[in-house]
């Protein structure tokens, strides 16, 4: 039991706090699905991969999360997927941002200008470069990727709070699963 808790805490801390791993390029966090998959199995959380064909990305989603139907306004605002867990109020929103920002480094510069954004970190998840950050006032954690079309693909997880470790587990597992489709 102690080993399981210690491993879960280590994975969650590495994923949530974007713990530092040193590489030649600088400090980045590298995450792999194998870590999240192990945690999901240990926690007894069952799920499946969903694919977002329009961006050639797939990610693992717990069975308790259900897709919400997107409205015309949602789609016009860049949403390509939205999932909710009715039991925990957990949300995963996926948005394709077209803000004229072509690279992750430019997006990171813009994020640093925002007062409500914190914990901005460079990450590599399943061999894909991305940026992770928090918006604590909104209880969200975000992972952003640049796309071939010059847009930013952003995953938002909510609620994620420092006061509730349970709010971290599922987003951390989902985050570790984001990868390109085959």
Each residue of 142-164: pLDDT tens digit? 999 998 888 999 999 998 877 77
Q: Report the chain's mean pLDDT, rounded to a whole number.
A: 84
Domain with 108, as residue range(s), is 2-180
* Best-predicted range by mean pLDDT (8-17, 18-27, 75-84, 160-169): 75-84
SS3 content of the chain, % helix, strand, coil (to 5): 30, 40, 30
* DSSP conformational letter for 103: S
Residue 66, H or E segment: strand 65-67
For the range 136-139, what are the long-range contacts, defined as Cβ-Cβ under 8 Å and sequence gap of 24 or more? 136/162, 139/167
| 152 class by beta-carbon count within 10 Å (0-12 exposed, 13-18 middle, 19+ buried) | buried
- The pLDDT > 90 percentage for the chain reads 66
Confidence band for 99, pLDDT divided at 50, 70 and 90: confident
Give per-residue pLDDT as tens, 38-88: 999 999 999 999 999 889 999 999 999 999 999 999 999 999 999 999 888
Q: Count structural domains, the chain.
A: 1
Q: How confident is the model at residue 16 (pLDDT cuts 50, 70, 90)?
A: very low
- Whether 136 has a pLDDT exceeding 80, the answer reads yes
pTM: 0.84
CA-based nearest residue to 90, from 179, 7, 173: 173
Tokens, residue 57: 């990305």
Q: Cis ω on the peptide bond leading into residue 128 (within 30° of 0)?
A: no
Place of tokens 């990868």: 179
What CATH code is carried by the domain that includes residue 101?
A: 3.40.1000
Read off the tokens for 18: 């974007």
Q: How confident is the model at residue 26 (pLDDT cuts 50, 70, 90)?
A: low
């Amino acid at each position: 039991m102690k080993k399981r808790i210690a491993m879960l805490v280590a994975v969650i801390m590495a994923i949530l706090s974007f713990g530092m791993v040193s590489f030649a390029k600088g400090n980045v966090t590298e995450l792999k699905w194998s870590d999240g998959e192990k945690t999901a199995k240990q926690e007894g959380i069952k799920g499946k991969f969903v694919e977002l064909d329009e961006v050639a990305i797939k990610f693992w989603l717990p069975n308790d999360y259900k897709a919400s139907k997107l409205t015309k306004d949602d789609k016009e605002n860049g949403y390509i997927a939205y999932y909710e867990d009715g039991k925990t109020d957990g949300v995963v929103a996926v948005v394709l941002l077209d803000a004229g920002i072509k690279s992750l480094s430019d997006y990171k510069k813009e994020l640093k200008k925002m007062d409500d954004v914190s914990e901005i970190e460079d990450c590599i998840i399943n061999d894909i470069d991305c940026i992770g950050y928090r918006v604590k006032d909104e209880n969200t954690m975000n992972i952003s990727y640049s796309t071939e079309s010059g847009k930013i693909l952003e995953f938002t997880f909510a609620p994620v709070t420092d006061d509730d470790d349970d709010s971290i587990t599922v987003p951390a597992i989902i985050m570790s699963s984001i990868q390109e489709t085959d």
